[in-house]
Amino acid sequence: ELLKAAGLQELGHVSELSGGQAAQVALLRALAARPEVLVVDEPFAAMDVESAARWRHLLRMSAADRTTVIVTHSRVDL
């Protein structure tokens, strides 16, 4: 379900991922662990504009049931 929401259901082998795709997989793994507190540092820096927008939405949705701290230098990410 998380793979589909993140648009990652059709990714190839880990060694074939771009930097942005690898960042998305890392975020996905963090969310799948269902931590009470999620701290991410520049989570959208390596992502394309469309993926970053999708992830901003997913993190906002998941923030309802956890504390989420996002470290960023981009005003767009706030």
Res. 12: pLDDT tops 70: no
**Token pair listed for 13:** 């082998």
Q: Which domain holds residue 38?
A: 2-77
pLDDT in tens, 16-25: 788 898 898 8
Whole-number pLDDT of residue 40:
96
Domain containing residue 9: CATH number: 3.40.50.300
**Against a cut of 0.85, is the pTM above it?**
no
- 34-74 confidence digits (pLDDT tens): 999 999 999 999 999 999 999 999 999 988 889 999 999 99
pLDDT tops 90 at residue 7: no
Dihedral-angle region of residue 14 (phi above 0 means left; psi in -120 to 50 means alpha; beta otherwise): alpha
Q: Give the H or E element holding residue 15.
A: none
Considering its fold, how many domains does the chain have in total? 1
